[in-house]
Structure 1
Amino acid sequence: MINLGVSPEQLVLSAEQTLYMVFVALAIGTVLALLIAVTLVVSRQQGLIPNRRIYVLLNSLVNTIRSVPFIILLVFILPLTKLIVGTRIGTTAALVPLVVFITPYLARLFENSFLEVNPGIFETAKSMGASYWETIWYFLLPEAKASLILSVTTGTIGLLGATAMAGAIGAGGVGDLALTYGYERMNFPLMLFTVIVLVVFVQLIQSAGNFFAAKARGH
């Protein structure tokens, strides 16, 4: 058996830390991104409730955050991380920059998903007497569901890559294991093993996303 230079317990802990960071940040980021994306779609000029001021503000905010590389964002918001979780290092501390990173990323993907919906559905909702909230909840979201699932899948894979860089603040995880015990100690077997683990994670996430998207389409 190949000696990876770390204990099985360390490997399991790193996998758990990665999954914790990815799925907690994803859950929070998805909710925030949906709110932002819906607001962008309904407030645009051709939207249900046109509001140029709100649209320009949100659109600029999303573009600004997305333009900052994650490793710089990670360091830049350390004071905010300290304020929210009480520490700048650790797995939980990494959630703050991960959420800030993934929220505008998903918001843009979700916005594109909503814009793919046939505009005629809004006329249908209006003719049925649906309110703005009912139009969004019963018409827009269901019609965009399959595309939204694939957007979440893409965001999850991007988030998985970001957790590796989160090792810069001692976040732990598979990526940090590869850097600390693999790269810095020139432990090639461990680096190869972590690459394989990440590839497996990505394959599972993409397969699950494709499956649920197909189910949403009725295939």
Structure 2
Amino acid sequence: MLKQLLAALLFAPVMAFASAASPVQYQQGVHYDVVAEKATEAPEVLEFFSFYCPHCKAFEPFAQALDKNLPEGISLIKNHVDFLRVAPPELQQSLAKAYVVAKNAGQGDRISNAIFDYLHNQRGSFTTEQDIRSLLVANDIPAMLVDSGMVNTAVMDEVAAMKKSQDHYSEAKILQGVPTLLVNGKYQVKFSGLSQENFQQDLNALVTYLLAKKD
């Protein structure tokens, strides 16, 4: 599974880093890049992704495990982008709404897995927002909840915030593809610098290190 992920993400081969007895010394330019002068006021971990992206599908299990490992009070903020050429931006924004509806119902990870599976394993496609609605309902999200959620002001505000964040980091030349993982708005994780043999452990440790980094 891990080798398939690394291949899907086009990671360059890297040597395993230090053992548990000798903790990794994380280095700028190797494990992470500094992409902004100032960090966000509050600690945050931000992932930009797309359900249409096969690399994002491969990374999803690791992202979900990372979210469960974050310090108390910090959650992985997932931003679904709308700039992939495989679908109209409006349809990609509908997928973002569907994710938010599912997340707010406590089903974000499960529905993310279902959407990734539908698009990449089943080779399905979406033409309209109604198609997306049908998939959520088929995966046990109540139709009434989907219908009300997709037009809910709070949901639409959250999707608008995703778009604003996407535009901000795109204009800053930080967001140039997906998946992209940013910590405190200042540090971008370099997946190619992480251990192949202990990718999840190394990812968790690096993000924890960057969350606490002060300089």
User: TM-score under structure 1 normalisation?
Assistant: 0.25
Larger radius of gyration: 1
Greater relative contact order (CA < 8 Å, ≥ 6 in sequence): 2
TM-score (norm. length: structure 2)? 0.25
More strand by share: 2
